[in-house]
Amino acid sequence: MCMGQKLYIKDIIASLLEGYNCSVFVYGATGAGKTHTMLGNENHKGIMYLTMVDLYRHMDACQDTLNIELGISYLEVYNENVQDLLNPEKKALHLREDATHGVVVAGMKVEVIHNADQLFELLKKGNDNRTQHPTDANAESSRSHAVFQVYVKMQDKATKQMKMVKLSMIDLAGSERAAANSSNQMRFKEGSNINKSLLALGNCINSLADGCRHVPYRDSKLTRILKDSLGGNCKTVMIANIAPTALSYEDSYNTLKYATRAKKIKAKLTKNILTVEMHNAEYKKFFENVQTENSCLKQENEKLLQEIASLKEAINLQDFKNNRLNVDPQRKEMKSMYEQKKQVVNELYICHSQKLSIKWRIHMKQKISSYLSAIEKEQLDTDLDDVTCLKQVSL
């Protein structure tokens, strides 16, 4: 197994500070020493550690001429899910396409770094959160693809020229055959997803090496994240790890085939220089886009308010109709009851009138009879015609 010191690519930092995006990734079978190459140990430091030490050394050397800001992110691709190793509580992250920055991981945490100790502490935190499981080939096998990215913003103090670059260091999960590692169903699923993403990576490398117009970056989450590192404006170093054993002959052969194809990829590099004028122009364009979007949102909001008003009016009209439908039967019923009561009152009035009439006639009969009796007994001086009239009335 090669030591990290021998593999350390010293010109990476120089290219980074000149304004070029840079990437380093390791590829090989499980147990070939990829993670050791990237991370190392206390006695043999890995590429990540050596690169960051060299970066801070260069930053200290040019602090009189440059203002430099650093930010880092650390994520893993496990079973085709993207996880933030610096924020493990967060759910799976989603990839977004951005016209300016390419593929962007939505919701990814970017930590601003002020010193080397803080950086190494976050690097250790991310490594502790990385998914690892023992396999038949390796007792501490990394079961995910890890992507450690450093964002560097540099501004020349004299010219105000600004450079924004990105350094990506990728520790790929081990390629393997299912028969060589069949611990259980979960490990088999992990291996299948690892091989699927590495196959997608191989297809992208083949397409780039052959100069194809279409490169299938979207076949996996890994290749989408590595799009800039493979075919974009980026200086990329691929390290092929092979195990020094005859048992790994086939894996070593496949790894070297991978590396041979990757050597044929050619990239056209341009410096990521952003002048103050360009910087302001981008902000102006962004502001104009925001204004346009705000205007569209206002128009959409007005339309929604009109729709809400129309819906309210329709609801009120429907309620009125429903209430009217409910009230009309009640009114009809009340009117019917009123007519019935009125008829009963009229009938009662007629009956009462008839009773009064009968009582009055009876009373008058009694009075006339008494009067006639008195006339007959006392032989009152009364006109004969009046007496005859009274008798007829009493009858």
Binding residues for ATP, by number, are 28-35
Nearest residue to 202 (alpha-carbon basis) of 187, 217, 214, 188 = 217
- For residue 20, the one-letter residue type is Y
The C-alpha atoms of residue 350 and residue 331 are separated, in whole angstroms, by 28
Environment class of 117 (CB within 10 Å of its CB; exposed 0-12, middle 13-18, buried 19+): exposed
Beta-carbon contacts of 214 under 8 Å, excluding residues fewer than 6 positions away, are 207
Binding site as annotated, residues: 28-35
Query: Sign of dihedral through CA atoms 80, 85, 90, 93?
Result: negative
With contact defined as beta carbons under 8 Å apart, do 83 and 95 qualify?
no
With contact defined as beta carbons under 8 Å apart, do 109 and 86 qualify?
yes
